[in-house]
């Protein structure tokens, strides 16, 4: 994986998450003591010391045991949340369970969430989801949508019929369900359908971070992946689109604490990061923890410089939206009189 992908840049070097179009207005007289700022929050019934999650990535191969162990230690020490990668591999081959269960072992107090693909729900059903929950003593399950990747992979699962119905079935199995994309974002119409199906939260996983089309392009011999690197709803736009009254995770190209602050000011409750943590998790628990600590410190500074004592106040700070992100939000009817409509409804 090259550095540009990690930086949330497209193949031509552009950052496309839309977060560069968001300006948080600086408060020159914040009237608070930075050391008193509270960055903690509640998320799906669990207390997080910061509104940060390590996004679903890995597990399922012996070499991933160490990465998940290191990431889990970082999550436990920082009091944040952590998701595991798709548990399909361990449902198929129980000898791989430890590469996932190590997360709960190392992070006994953290918000830990499991992961399965929506495309595979038909095969595994409610029983498979419950097995995945039990495997890591999960606080919630993420069900991922990755139809772009499925469509451009030669062996991909491209029958998307009945996905919402299956999500609805899973939502009644008694565990909070997070419906997440994997890099293409979610628009308002689907966010409403997901909410009405009974999901507890949405993770936008918007365009502008890790690109599965990009990954497929590196792997393949044709340019279809490169062409579809263009595809998706930018993270900043998707956050506003998904403001439908259930908890919201922002992800897709979040690479700093300022990005986290922007996402929360746009309407997210917590932020999730994936790719930058892969390399750090591979290095050591300390490396992952240091990186995340920096992100949280940058978030705290952003809060100080906007006069936000806590996350609730950060949600209300003044922002300016410019460029293509503004055009897209206007086109979709989210902006009236200079304000994002959905923020006013909160
Ligand atoms: C190496 C890697 C593996 C991933 N595996 C999964 C997965 O198994 N399930 C899933 O829902 N998302 C998966 N994702 C997507 C991430 O959870 C996240 O939604 C996406 O990468 C956007 O975040 P980022 O830009 O910070 O990487 C993976 C991402 C990476 C980088």
Interhelix angle for 121-136 vs 163-171, to 10°?
30
Identify whether the C-beta of residue 329 lies closer than 8 Å to the C-beta of residue 237. yes
User: CA-to-CA distance for 195 and 218, rounded, in angstroms?
Assistant: 35
pLDDT 10s digits, 176-212: 999 999 999 999 999 999 999 999 999 999 999 988 8
Give the count of alpha carbons within 13 A of 259, CB side only. Answer: 26
Residue of 57, 59, 136 with the most ligand 1 atoms within 8 Å of its CB, for mutation: 57
Question: What pLDDT shows up at residue 180?
Answer: 98
Chain-centroid distance of CA 228 in Å reads 20
Measured in Å, residue 345 CA sits from the centre of ligand 1 at: 31
User: CA-to-CA distance for 13 and 344, rounded, in angstroms?
Assistant: 34
Contact partners, residue 67, CB within 8 Å, separation at least 6: 57, 58, 278, 281, 282
Measured in Å, residue 114 CA sits from the centre of ligand 1 at: 13
- Provide residues with CB under 6 Å of ligand 1: 8, 55-58, 85-86, 115, 142, 144, 180, 182-183, 205, 209-210, 251-254, 273-275, 278
Whether 135 shows a pLDDT value over 70: the answer reads: yes
pLDDT 10s digits, 208-265: 998 888 777 777 778 888 888 889 999 999 999 999 999 999 999 999 999 999 999 9
Q: What is the mean pLDDT of the chain?
A: 92
Confidence of residue 15 (pLDDT cuts 50, 70, 90): confident
User: Where on the phi/psi map is residue 252: left (φ > 0), alpha (ψ -120 to 50), or beta?
Assistant: left
- In 3D, which of 57, 292, 276 has the Cα closest to residue 182? 57
Question: What pLDDT shows up at residue 1?
Answer: 46
Identify whether the C-beta of residue 80 lies closer than 8 Å to the C-beta of residue 103. no
User: CA-to-CA distance for 293 and 145, rounded, in angstroms?
Assistant: 29
Measured in Å, residue 83 CA sits from the centre of ligand 1 at: 10
Question: What pLDDT shows up at residue 338?
Answer: 60
Lowest mean pLDDT among 8-12, 96-100, 126-130: 8-12
User: CA-to-CA distance for 283 and 102, rounded, in angstroms?
Assistant: 17
Chain-centroid distance of CA 35 in Å reads 28
User: CA-to-CA distance for 265 and 202, rounded, in angstroms?
Assistant: 17
User: CA-to-CA distance for 310 and 345, rounded, in angstroms?
Assistant: 19
User: CA-to-CA distance for 76 and 66, rounded, in angstroms?
Assistant: 15
Q: What is the number of the ligand 1 atom nearest to the C-alpha of 59?
A: 8
Query: What is the Rg, in whole angstroms, of the alpha carbon atoms belonging to the chain?
Result: 19
Question: What pLDDT shows up at residue 211?
Answer: 83
What's this model's pTM, rounded to 2 decimal places?
Answer: 0.95
Average pLDDT over residues 52-71: 94
3-state class percentages of the chain: helix first, strand second, coil last, to nearest 5: 45, 15, 35
Measured in Å, residue 275 CA sits from the centre of ligand 1 at: 7
Whether 119 shows a pLDDT value over 80: the answer reads: yes
User: CA-to-CA distance for 202 and 194, rounded, in angstroms?
Assistant: 8
Confidence of residue 165 (pLDDT cuts 50, 70, 90): very high
More confident residue, 163 or 15: 163
Measured in Å, residue 82 CA sits from the centre of ligand 1 at: 12
Task: Delineate the domains of the chain, giving CATH numbers in brackets.
Answer: 3-345 (3.20.20.70)
Question: What pLDDT shows up at residue 191?
Answer: 98
pLDDT 10s digits, 298-335: 999 999 999 999 999 999 999 999 999 999 999 999 99
Identify whether the C-beta of residue 41 lies closer than 8 Å to the C-beta of residue 343. no
DSSP code at position 19: G
119 by DSSP, 3-state: which? helix
In percent, the amount of the chain with pLDDT more than 70 equals 93
């Amino acid at each position: 994986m090259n550095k540009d992908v990690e930086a949330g840049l497209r193949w031509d070097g552009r950052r496309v998450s839309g977060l560069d179009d968001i300006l948080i207005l600086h408060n020159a007289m914040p009237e608070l003591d930075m050391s008193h700022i509270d960055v903690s929050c509640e998320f799906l019934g669990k207390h997080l010391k910061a509104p940060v999650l390590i996004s679903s990535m890995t597990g399922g191969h012996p070499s991933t045991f160490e990465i998940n162990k290191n990431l889990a230690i970082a999550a436990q020490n920082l009091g944040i949340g952590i998701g595991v990668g798709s548990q399909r591999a361990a449902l198929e081959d129980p000898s791989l369970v430890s590469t996932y269960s190590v997360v709960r072992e190392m992070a006994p107090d953290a918000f830990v969430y499991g992961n399965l693909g929506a495309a595979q729900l038909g095969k595994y059903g409610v029983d498979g989801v419950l097995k995945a929950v039990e495997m890591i003593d999960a606080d919630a399950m993420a069900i991922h949508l990755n139809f772009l990747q499925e469509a451009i992979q030669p062996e991909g699962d491209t029958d998307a019929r009945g996905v919402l119905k299956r999500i609805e079935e899973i939502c009644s199995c008694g565990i909070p369900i997070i419906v997440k994309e994997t890099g293409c974002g979610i628009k308002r119409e689907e966010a409403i359908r997901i909410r009405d199906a009974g999901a507890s939260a949405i993770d936008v996983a918007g365009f502008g971070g890790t690109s599965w089309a990009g990954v497929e392009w590196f792997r393949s011999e044709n340019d279809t992946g490169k062409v579809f690197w263009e595809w998706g709803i930018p993270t900043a736009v998707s956050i506003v689109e998904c403001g439908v009254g259930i908890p919201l995770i922002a992800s897709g190209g979040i690479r700093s604490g300022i990005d986290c602050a922007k996402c929360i000011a746009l309407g997210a409750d917590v932020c999730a990061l994936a790719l930058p943590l892969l390399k750090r998790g591979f290095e050591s628990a300390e490396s992952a923890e240091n990186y995340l600590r920096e992100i949280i410190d940058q978030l705290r500074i952003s809060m100080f410089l906007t006069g936000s004592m806590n996350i609730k106040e950060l949600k209300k700070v003044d922002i300016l939206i410019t460029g293509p992100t503004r055009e897209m939000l206007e086109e979709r009817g989210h902006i009236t009189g200079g304000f994002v409509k959905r923020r006013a409804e909160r």
